[in-house]
Amino acid sequence: MKRRTLKYRINWQNVWKKMRSERIRKPKIIYDKDFQIKSTEDFSNRCKWNNYEFGRTVVDILGDILDKGFEILEIGPGPGTLTIPLSEKVRKITCIEASKVNLQILKRNLKEERAKNVKLINEYWERAEIENRFDLVVCSHFLWMVDDLEKHLERMEQFSDRYCVIVQPCGRDEIVKKAFEEICNEKYTGQFEPDADYFAYVILREWSRTLNVRHFKYSFELNLEEGIRYIAGFLGKFIEVNEEVADKIRNFLIEEVGESWVVKNKAVVMWWETEK
């Protein structure tokens, strides 16, 4: 792939490392022994909310470049957030998913939606053996999983004949920030901001890629227990979430939103043509 060498470069590497060490650390949650499995199902329910609103919006945004004949490589599909809406618009999708649990959920969701043009590979993307190249390579809500961001972007381009696409949530619902401040007794100083798209943008522009960037708003509804888990997953990276803290989250949510919470977030879609 063609690259340019810049005289002056932004030193983003240290910030990436520090933010990843906060983001990726396993949350300390002891108030419910089934927290992990329930959260995984919550994630699937969120992506299915409003008939895959998030994924459908991405597919609409990519409308001009998608073609019915496309073969797509998707990295880290999770429950099928994007896979399922995309499968209706293209010939075939190959997915590389590391987690067996997520793969089972994805299989169930694909069956529910009668999507038959999706091939699943249970492997880590970094070490998956991929034989062919694709019209489009995409990862959605995946960048924080990556230790070496440059290698990841390079590998995306390596397997793409035409387009690469990054989809990434950016920003955080104000209620989560408020819960952090009230319950951790600490000012929210943008712990998880800017979001990962910022880093990818800097790298790709250094490489001279011209990116198309579109932001969109999306939402999903959580009942009280799901809402507690959603906030606990964030707070647990900073404090231990025991029954007392879970109760504080419950009381906070009842006061702020009642029994049902419509979370409002933003996301970004960035796409570019690969340069040979």
Ligand X SMILES: C[S@@+](CC[C@H](N)C(=O)[O-])C[C@H]1O[C@@H](n2cnc3c(N)ncnc32)[C@H](O)[C@@H]1O
Distance of closest approach, residue 170 Cβ to ligand X, in angstroms: 13
Nearer to ligand X, 59 or 183 (CB): 59
| Structural element, H or E, at residue 119 | strand 118-122
Q: What single DSSP character describes residue 126? A: G
Residue 263 DSSP SS3: strand
Give least dist CB 86 to ligand X, A.
Answer: 11
Asked if residues 87 and 151 have their Cβ atoms less than 8 Å apart, the reply is: no
Closer Cβ to ligand X, 233 or 245, answer by number: 233
- Alpha-carbon distance 82 to 54, whole Å? 7
Give the span between the Cα atoms of 32 and 242, in whole angstroms: 8
As measured in angstroms, the least distance from the Cβ of 32 to ligand X is: 21
Which of 3, 264 has the CB closer to ligand X? 264
Q: How far is the CB of 4 from ligand X (least distance, A)?
A: 28
Which residues are at the interface with ligand X (CB under 6 A)? 47, 75-78, 81-82, 96-99, 102, 124-126, 140-142, 145
Nearer to ligand X, 57 or 274 (CB): 57
Cα distance between residue 169 and residue 111, in whole Å: 26
Closest CA to 107 of 126, 120, 96: 120
82 vs 249, which CB is nearer to ligand X? 82
Count how many Cα atoms sit within 13 Å of the Cα of residue 222 in the half-sphere of its side chain: 26
Residue nearest to ligand X (CB): 78
In angstroms, what CA-CA distances link 76 with 34, 180, 241? Answer: 23, 28, 28
Helix (H, G, I), strand (E, B) or coil at 271: strand
| Shortest distance in whole angstroms from residue 244 CB to ligand X | 29
